[in-house]
Structure 1
Amino acid sequence: MRAVTVFAPLNFAFQKYTGNTDDSFVLYHITNTPYKLNQLGNTPIFSELDGNPPLWVTRTKTDNVEDIYINNAKVLQEKSNFIQTDHSGKKKVLHILEDVLEPVRPLSQEFQIYNLNAFEFLNLSENLDLDNYRVRSFRQRVNVTNKQDVFNEDGRFTFFIPVDDGFQPPPRPDKIDAKVIDGHVIPHKVLFTAATKNDVEYETLAYTDTVKVVVFFGTESNGKETKRFVKSRTIVRDSSHPAGVVIAEIVKANIPVRNGVVHLINRPLMVVDNTVTEFLKVNYKNHEDGPLYKFYEVIHDTEGDFMDRITAMKELTLFAPSNNAWKDPNLKNLIRDRKKIQEILHMHVIEEQLTLQQIIDNNKHQLYQVATIAPRRHLYFNVVKSGGNRTLTVEGGGVNATVIQSDVAATNGVVHIIDRVLGVPFMTVGRKMATDPMLNKTFIMGRSQGFNEQLDDMGKRFTYFVPRDYAWKKVENTYPSAHKKLFMHDFAYHARQILERHLVVADQAYTMAELKNMTMHEARKLPTVRDVVKIRVKESDKSYYVEWNNEWIHVFRPDVECTNGVIHVIDNVFVRDSDIQVTGSGEIVQPLRATLGFIICLIIGQYL
């Protein structure tokens, strides 16, 4: 009898496993040393399979909870550490796994393999059971560039190997030079997919003084299954290796080898040889596996000029909604309106190349906005920092979307994948006010006396001229003491009166184009929640201006659409000097309150 550790998969793991479960399969789940869980470190242990191929141990910690993985199988710790000692003192230890441990297998039992490393894996791949995937093209590039040592070296590595189908079209194979091959290898880490967090960047062998390339994992779910992706990001480029992100699907994951783990991917990393149009088409050909499959399907079904326009562009930036973004129920009826959906598609395109870093640089001193190819439609950017992480949000047509994958590189531009479809509102005016950082001060003021509560009413249609925070700053510069008092509870009534002047309530919401047409010849009175506001609208230099009280006010963001109205973000507050009176001590005096005070003084004076 021998001392052993047995890693036993759950019954359910066997039910979903479709491979062979012969004696060699069983031996791969056994090691001849008894290991309790606390004895499993980050060093490999060796199985009883011929050649003693390693079992890789990974410990991860999330919120102070530690998980242990053997290769890609999670250990069920509460069901493990079962120890039995036989009559000779030999210990048997049992641990339970969520999944089976799958070794490298030959196609035929007549062909023997013994504990292959990554280079031997490449050389013998035609004799291995790899689900009909072939890697001859990549092996050829490894040999041509003399990079055999990278795959032959002892140690701990994660290897990404593109399959043959990913080497089309020519001249893609010629772009896979020594530096690109280095970009497919992570040194010092053995990363199995289940044990590796998404979006954590790992330096590759191509992280040098001249070029810097990292890779990270990601997932995409179509509701039926979850696909795993690996993404390379070239941070520092050179003349042969452009900056940006390249996405590859992991088509066969977690192949253990003597010096680490191999993941087969559907195309090479680092290689940028598609235009934006070609990138979308490739996604569509991959059917539901492509992260932008649904976006291209909508483009195709719309039958407009969208593809022709972006194909003709010398450079562009595309904000592409993910597959999940199109599941929004608000989109079902809209997709049938081809004219509207064409306008929305155009709102996702900028006729210049903008990387994440360029947007961040442009956003440092003011909120960055840029025109789309949709007439009079702009995108507005905001960068949220949390620790060392930066999250980019983009707003268009009242929709705030988060960039979930930035800087996907193309030969004529860059693609940013976002989590919502722009231009399709899903918030009420009230909810938009509560969540838009540019409108924060108006929202805070509107909480006084419950002014904001009416803004969620779906039975009304609002046109709200909302002063952005910059506009309130101008008021503060002119009336510093009064501005301070306006946001205090004691002066809520006065603040509400000012806001009421900005909120038009009618049987419809008015876009800026409609207001311009309505007031082309003369100013017009519109009903507000208090009385009326008299305005006129003009367009100049691709911007709108609202005339109020003989002053032309710039509209910073027109037509922020909401489910029960529209917001127009303006650069000034509709406020008159008579609205804000300041005493010698700097306090606001409301006109009505001042009149009542004067009358009271007269009455008291009669009795003195």
Structure 2
Amino acid sequence: MLHIMSGLIVLLFVISPCLVIADRKMTIAEKLQEDTDLSQFLALLDRNMVANMSLQYRQLTIFAPTNEAFQRYVGEMDDNLVLYHISNLATTLNNLDYAISSELDGNPPLWVTRRRDTMHDDIYVNNAKVFITRSYQAVNQNGKLQVLHVIDQVLQPLQPHGPISTSTPVYNPNAYQFLEHSDVFNIGQHRLRSFRQKVYQLQKKEVFNADGRHTFFIPVDEGFKPTARSDFIDEKVIDGHVIPHHVLFTKATPDSQEFESMAFSDNVKVIISFSTTVNGQEEITYVKSNTVAGDTKHSRGVVLADIVRANIPVKNGVVHLIQRPLMVVDTSVIDFLKEREDGPLCKFYEVIMDLGENNQFLKELTLAKDITLFAPSNEAWNEITVQNLIRNHQKLKEILNLHLVRERLPMDAIIHNNMNQIYQAPTAAPRKYLYFNVLNTNSNQTLTVEGGGVNATVTQPNIAATNGFVHIIDRVLGVPYTTVFEKLKMDPMLNITYNLGKRQMFNHQLNEMEHRYTYFVPRDHAWLKFQIRHPSAYKALFRDDFGYYTKQILERHVIRAGRAYTVSDLKLLANETHPIILPTTRDPLKLRVKESDKNYYVEWNGHWIHVFRPDVECTNGIIHVIDEPFVLESDIRATGSADNTRIAYTYFLLLVSYAFVRILGN
């Protein structure tokens, strides 16, 4: 018995330390040891004596990148890098201010961004996102509070590429000191001498020397070719490269969010925003200046520059090195397309050049003085149907002309022209127009453009050129990708016809691919005119018990055959004197076709009806948008008589009910 008791006592002494450890909260050091996803950061920390001493004895905050973050990191990896991830204050997420000092030489700040989205708030340290749920705090063995935040990128400080001269110490430089001593810092092959010279010459040192928190854009020397470009840079342009009072890292800043630059005054107003696109496997971030109000020296419109080195932290904010100066409009439309081999429209330029260096479209882009180009993005050319089209050079020529308007059309002019009517602009393709629609969501306006049956969204409007404007769109116009049914459903101008077609499942046939449809579709405006003339008949078309009549009327508008008919086809078959009779699922459709003042008209039942949008191509047919529905007076009488029949029937039921109640009462 004594033997058993002594054994239990020994076992208790062995187990008790383990129980104490289990009950005690892990320190930050133990947490780092335990989390295998932070092993590379821990190895870096172990090699630095200052970091180890801080972890053992001091209050601190650690920003620890994951192993995956280290695998993506391409910067220099010296033992002092860990100090840029440590602050000597214990700061929880709730207490993070807009900046926190690091332990790296010179104590350069880490900039904090709280990005508020609709679903949740995200927190960034420089350009690294904090994994909010993985933050941890504990007291170390010396009673000092310590905090751990896990982040998704390695923080990269601005560091010299060699020993720094004692005569010009530039630890923790501000933007001006960085610009002045840029040759000392590790920024790759980029040189900033041209822009630095303009800052000196125009005495704008104070702009980059200002205390506070700002965002600076500095064009590299390569962006000053041709050399005459530097002549366009004046004091306003320098101001247009600075966003005051905001420290904007690329990942932490929402795309297209606009910020006022320092060049925002009564006469000139310049706003700046970021945009990100994917080119193959590469993600490219652009900065754009939008001169919304200009003067004789500063043209209105957007200048787009890609960021060649992003997110360089400095004492008074962040610096982004950009490929060319902002605000300077000194290139033509064709020069913009070919400016960079990996530019936002490089695939469009390749397609143009595939037609040969002497093709007519290229000549017009080069020589024309006033044009607007709706240019499909690089991603738009990856569609399979588009890839197949590129091989057909004759069809490609028609498609390219559909993207060109022979006048200057900035976005505000399009919106103004679209206020009281659907604005249509003639293209370089004969008898082909572009049609515009403005969508208002919250405080934003989105412009859509339709050409050849394809509805595209303008993703980047108002890129200014010396001879016009470029609007980047997300689809290639004239290459259909929707069925007749899908086009009806999506087009904001055809809502009423689509909703009428829901009756008795009329629309469903329009999704079939084994037939080709030619559909004369009254636009909403046509139905609203019909409603004014025949209010009761219009109302009846939407009643549940009149679906049969509605279907009959729509059937008269649809030709289902082995082919679809363009307006040109119909004009060849039916001119003003000889009509054509086309079979519909209702009754024969007798039409004549004429062209007047570059517009088409069809004659039906003695009325000449304007074809508002001809040849809207779909994958299984063609839509012709018309300004009047094919409705006969007999259709209206049938609708009206059916309405009267229903009223009479309802009255009859009331009489029967009344008689039945009287009988029961007796």
Count of matched residue positions in the alignment of Structure 1 and Structure 2: 587
- 1:231-264 CA deviation, whole Å, 9 max, x = no partner? 1000110110000000010111111100000000
TM-superposed CA distance for 1:572, in Å, is 1.1
1:546 to 587, 599, 602: 602
The equivalent residue for 1:455 is 510
CA contact (8 A) 1:402 1:418 kept: yes
Please say which structure displays the higher CA radius of gyration: 2
The equivalent residue for 1:332 is 387
1:58 aligns with 2:113: yes
CA contact (8 A) 1:580 1:590 kept: no
TM-superposed CA distance for 1:31, in Å, is 1.4
1:193 aligns with 2:250: yes
Aligned counterparts, 1:79-94, within 5 A: 79-87=134-142, 89-94=143-148
1:299 aligns with 2:347: no
- 1:186-232 CA deviation, whole Å, 9 max, x = no partner? 00011111111000000010011111000000001013021111110
Q: What secondary structure, in the 3-state scheme, does the structure 2 residue paired with 1:56 have?
A: strand
TM-superposed CA distance for 1:590, in Å, is 5.1
CA contact (8 A) 2:373 2:471 kept: yes
Aligned counterparts, 1:24-35, within 5 A: 24-35=80-91
Aligned counterparts, 1:97-176, within 5 A: 97-111=151-165, 113-176=170-233
Work out the CA distance in 1 between the residues paired with 2:264 and 2:302. 15
- 1:411-464 CA deviation, whole Å, 9 max, x = no partner? 110110000000000111111111111111111111111111111110001111
The equivalent residue for 1:573 is 629
Work out the CA distance in 2 between the residues paired with 1:489 and 1:263. 62
TM-superposed CA distance for 1:545, in Å, is 0.8
The equivalent residue for 2:26 is none
TM-superposed CA distance for 1:593, in Å, is 7.9
2:494 to 412, 417, 439: 439
CA contact (8 A) 2:272 2:288 kept: yes
The equivalent residue for 2:18 is none
Q: Residue type of the partner of 1:25?
A: L
The equivalent residue for 1:405 is 460
TM-superposed CA distance for 1:591, in Å, is 12
TM-score by length of 1: 0.94
TM-superposed CA distance for 1:513, in Å, is 0.5
The alignment-based identity, stated in percent, is: 55
The equivalent residue for 1:467 is 522
Aligned counterparts, 1:229-248, within 5 A: 229-248=286-305
Work out the CA distance in 2 between the residues paired with 1:92 and 1:439. 63
Q: What secondary structure, in the 3-state scheme, does the structure 2 residue paired with 1:458 have?
A: coil
1:220 aligns with 2:277: yes
The equivalent residue for 2:585 is 529
Q: What secondary structure, in the 3-state scheme, does the structure 1 residue paired with 2:262 have?
A: coil
1:512 aligns with 2:567: yes
TM-superposed CA distance for 1:110, in Å, is 4.7
Q: What secondary structure, in the 3-state scheme, does the structure 2 residue paired with 1:149 have?
A: helix
Aligned counterparts, 1:255-270, within 5 A: 255-270=312-327
Q: Residue type of the partner of 1:278?
A: D
CA contact (8 A) 2:213 2:316 kept: yes
The equivalent residue for 1:323 is 378
Q: Residue type of the partner of 2:384?
A: P
The equivalent residue for 1:602 is none
Q: Structure 1 residues 422 and 504 mapped into 2: Cα distance closer, same or farther (>3 Å)? A: same
Q: Structure 1 residues 132 and 515 mapped into 2: Cα distance closer, same or farther (>3 Å)? A: same
CA contact (8 A) 2:540 2:643 kept: no
1:18 aligns with 2:74: yes
The equivalent residue for 1:381 is 436
Q: Residue type of the partner of 1:274?
A: T
TM-superposed CA distance for 1:540, in Å, is 1.2
TM-superposed CA distance for 1:32, in Å, is 1.3
Q: What secondary structure, in the 3-state scheme, does the structure 2 residue paired with 1:430 have?
A: helix
- 1:340-378 CA deviation, whole Å, 9 max, x = no partner? 011000000100001111111111111111110100100
CA contact (8 A) 1:461 1:565 kept: yes
Once the two structures are overlaid, the 10-residue window that deviates more, 260-269 or 475-484, is: 475-484
The equivalent residue for 1:588 is 640
1:272 aligns with 2:326: no
CA contact (8 A) 1:322 1:417 kept: yes
- 1:87-108 CA deviation, whole Å, 9 max, x = no partner? 3x22332222111111111111
Q: Structure 1 residues 114 and 531 mapped into 2: Cα distance closer, same or farther (>3 Å)? A: same
Work out the CA distance in 2 between the residues paired with 1:91 and 1:481. 78
Q: What secondary structure, in the 3-state scheme, does the structure 2 residue paired with 1:522 have?
A: coil
TM-superposed CA distance for 1:83, in Å, is 2.1
Q: What secondary structure, in the 3-state scheme, does the structure 2 residue paired with 1:357 have?
A: helix
The equivalent residue for 1:498 is 553
- 1:364-399 CA deviation, whole Å, 9 max, x = no partner? 111111110100100000001011110100000000
Work out the CA distance in 2 between the residues paired with 1:99 and 1:474. 60
Work out the CA distance in 1 between the residues paired with 2:426 and 2:360. 19
Q: Mark the runs of 5 or more structure 2 residues left unpaired by the alignment.
A: 1-56, 650-666
CA contact (8 A) 1:460 1:505 kept: yes
The equivalent residue for 2:341 is 287
2:241 to 176, 179, 184: 184
Q: Residue type of the partner of 2:145?
A: K
- 1:498-526 CA deviation, whole Å, 9 max, x = no partner? 11111111211000001000113511111
TM-superposed CA distance for 1:474, in Å, is 2.2
CA contact (8 A) 2:164 2:170 kept: no
Q: Residue type of the partner of 1:5?
A: T
Work out the CA distance in 1 between the residues paired with 2:63 and 2:537. 73
- 1:511-549 CA deviation, whole Å, 9 max, x = no partner? 000100011351111111123111111111111110111
- 1:552-577 CA deviation, whole Å, 9 max, x = no partner? 11111000000010011111111121
Q: What secondary structure, in the 3-state scheme, does the structure 2 residue paired with 1:510 have?
A: coil
Q: Residue type of the partner of 1:99?
A: Q
Report the structure, 1 or 2, having the larger helix content.
2
CA contact (8 A) 2:591 2:603 kept: yes
RMSD, aligned α-carbons: 1.8
Q: What secondary structure, in the 3-state scheme, does the structure 1 residue paired with 2:74 have?
A: coil
CA contact (8 A) 2:137 2:145 kept: no
CA contact (8 A) 2:602 2:610 kept: yes
CA contact (8 A) 2:243 2:261 kept: yes
CA contact (8 A) 1:494 1:590 kept: no
Work out the CA distance in 1 between the residues paired with 2:522 and 2:130. 56
Q: Residue type of the partner of 2:525?
A: Y
The equivalent residue for 1:604 is none
CA contact (8 A) 1:579 1:590 kept: no
- 1:466-516 CA deviation, whole Å, 9 max, x = no partner? 111121122212211111111211111111111111111121100000100
